[in-house]
Chains A and B, each alone.
Chain A
Amino acid sequence: MATLGDLAKLVRSKNAGPFWLTIDIMFDDAEAYRRARDAEIVNRAAIARLYNRNPADIIVVNHDTALAIKVSFPRPQSSGSKLDSDVYGGQQYAPLLGLEVPG
């Protein structure tokens, strides 16, 4: 079965300000995007499980024009603080890459 990593043209994570992390899962064809979107594999419960977060804090948005699924949640610690290991938040997307996309 294809994974999100196989289907996406770009998966990236980034700070959205020093206190939030945001992950963009972007596609270059509408069919792959719809397949991932409609499978609903990127949802609050799944993200909460993968990242050990509270589901109530997680935002998941589908952007049909951008052909992108976006996930945001508060950082466990602010960017560059003593317990943080990723000042730019750039390497926090990897756990999503292996999610299997049916269809």
Chain B
Amino acid sequence: MASFPLVSATGMLGSGFRAESLDKAISLGARMIGCDAGSTDPGPGPLATGTCMFSAAAVKRDTEIMMTRAVKAGIPLIMGSAGTSGSDAGLAWMVDIVHQIAREQDLHFKLAVIHSELSREVVRRHLRDGRARALPPSAPLTDADIDAATHIVGMMGVEPIQEALKLGAQIVVAGRSSDTSIFAALPLLEGYAPAVVWHMAKILECGAAAVAVRTAPDCMMAVLHEDSFDVFPLREDYHCTPQSVASHTLYENADPFELKEPSGTLRTNDARYEAISDRAVRVSGSEFVHDPEYTIKLEGVRRVGYSTILMGGVRDPYILAQMDSWLAQLDDNIRTRIRSTIGDRPYEIVTRVYGRDGVMGVLEPQRGSVGGHEAFILWDVISEAQELSRSIATSVSHLAVHNPIPKWHGLISGVAFPYSPPEIDRGPVYEFHLNHVLAPASPTALFRTEYEEL
């Protein structure tokens, strides 16, 4: 019976894995190496600024091991969501690393680079044509959302990667890709069943995350069969159990039984997980339901303003006991002072009180009081310009230090600042604001691929 072995180098390119684990996968006949390089987990920063969450040195180390093995073995290497966000800047940064390695290691191959950054005009056209849909909990897409976006990427499915493989690319560096598409593209081309392939891809995308006890990131291997797949780690001291593999469907999903892909939904309700050795698990029984409409998920960021922060601590028990009223009074004083200095230019001050509800904010069930003997306060001043935020922050720090409480008579010094000056400029700050999908003319229509012989 036909089978298809493949390996995931690690859960996140740049987080590391053992070279000998990948070598072992190759010796076991792996027919491709895949690696996810991106995520929205680190927040809007990477997409907004085009920077990777890992250093070039870390990414280069992992990439070099994968490239040398793939080229020597003559198998494809597929890396998705390059540079964390998959934006054009992140992709260019990753391609530069691939070029360096090819030059230094004298590696020769056909490279495909798949762009996923979308222009505002392309997204606007889809909106106009009724091809944009909101995902819960967001409101429908508007022109204003699109105009405000500084960067937008579309999350590709398997099709652009498959096209590159069909055209002979051995190394594929893709912009934003669904984590699973990286591992599903080639097996689907080879004719393996979608339900088996997508479920395998979901388990492999995080590397060794689906083992029972993971002490460090590493490779994970799967072998596809006609109606099941086997999954196992390469490190001898790691092992998978039915529970550890099943648990991985929980990871970073809202619903572990319904995993949405551009072309449909993987349903794992009836999946069976069976130990076939003390380290390997066989998975079968999932179902893949094709959706009537093929959709591409968007990720987009907009600039909220420029931020200057202030950090300070409070130890006075009388201030701690009346933190809310003390802050309300401070807020009043700040408003009054700022109106007389800068007038009516809009600004916002976000105040986080660690020791009260700094970590959870509105989700904190115990909000409303400071629990311990000290509190940490983080003030974040956000406005349309850095100089304005800084100017406001200098008033905040001065007013905060001397903000009185009824207990003490005379000028107090109520905040401990660890730094001088206490104001720290953070530059532009961003937020994710697109939670929408587009229904493109075809699965490859939004993605542009460049080829290069190295």
Chain A contacts to B: CB under 8 angstroms: 14-20, 22, 24, 26, 28, 50-53, 57, 59, 61, 63, 65-68, 70, 72, 74, 76, 78-88, 91-92, 94-95
Contact = CB atoms under 8 A, between A and B. Distances in A.
B278 interface: no
A28 B241 CA distance: 11
Contacts of A92: 359-360, 363
A88 B43 CA distance: 7
A95 B45 CA distance: 29
A80 B45 CA distance: 8
B256 A61 contact: yes
Given A18-B432, A81-B431, A85-B352, A65 B271 contact: yes
A94 B273 CA distance: 30
Nearest to A98: B365
B42 interface: yes
Q: Which of A57, A63, A67, A86 has the most CB of B within 10 A?
A: A63
Contacts of A74: 136-137
A3 B307 CA distance: 41
A65 B273 contact: yes
A54 to B, nearest CB: 10
A68 B246 CA distance: 10
B54 interface: no
Given A63-B247, A68-B250, A76-B363, 12 more contacts: A19-B432, A24-B251, A52-B362, A61-B256, A66-B256, A67-B243, A70-B250, A79-B41, A79-B432, A81-B431, A82-B429, A92-B359
Contacts of A24: 247, 250-251
Given A50-B365, A59-B254, A80-B432, A66 B249 contact: yes
Determine the main DSSP class of A at the interface with B. loop
**Interface range for B:** 35 or more
Contacts of A17: 40, 252, 254, 435
23 contacts: A14-B252, A15-B41, A19-B135, A24-B250, A28-B243, A57-B137, A59-B254, A61-B257, A63-B256, A66-B249, A67-B243, A74-B137, A79-B43, A80-B431, A81-B304, A81-B431, A82-B307, A83-B350, A85-B359, A87-B41, A87-B43, A91-B360, A95-B363
B358 interface: yes
A59 to B, nearest CB: 6
Interface in B202-257: 242-243, 246-247, 249-257
Interface of B: 40-45, 135-138, 242-243, 246-247, 249-257, 271, 273, 299, 304-305, 307, 348, 350, 352, 358-365, 380, 382, 429-433, 435
A79 B41 CA distance: 8
A33 to B, nearest CB: 10
A63 B250 contact: yes
B43 A80 contact: yes
A22 B432 contact: no
Contact of A15 (B40, B136, B305): B40
B44 A79 contact: yes
B360 A66 contact: no
A16 B39 CA distance: 11
Contacts of A91: 359-360
B256 A18 contact: no
Contacts of B362: 52, 76
Contacts of B42: 80, 87-88
Closest 3 CB pairs of A and B: A80-B43, A81-B431, A65-B246
B361 A85 contact: yes
Q: Which of B247, B254, B431 has the most CB of A within 10 A?
A: B254
B114 to A, nearest CB: 22
Given A22-B252, A86-B360, A63 B246 contact: yes
A74 B43 CA distance: 16
B365 A51 contact: yes
Contacts of B243: 28, 65-67
A16 B254 contact: yes
Given A18-B40, A61-B255, A86 B246 contact: no
A95 B247 CA distance: 22
A19 B41 CA distance: 11
Given A68-B250, A91-B360, A81 B44 contact: yes
A66 B246 contact: yes
B256 A70 contact: yes
Contacts of B249: 63, 66
Contacts of A16: 252-254
Contacts of B358: 85
Contact of B380 (A20, A65, A78, A82): A82
Contacts of B348: 82
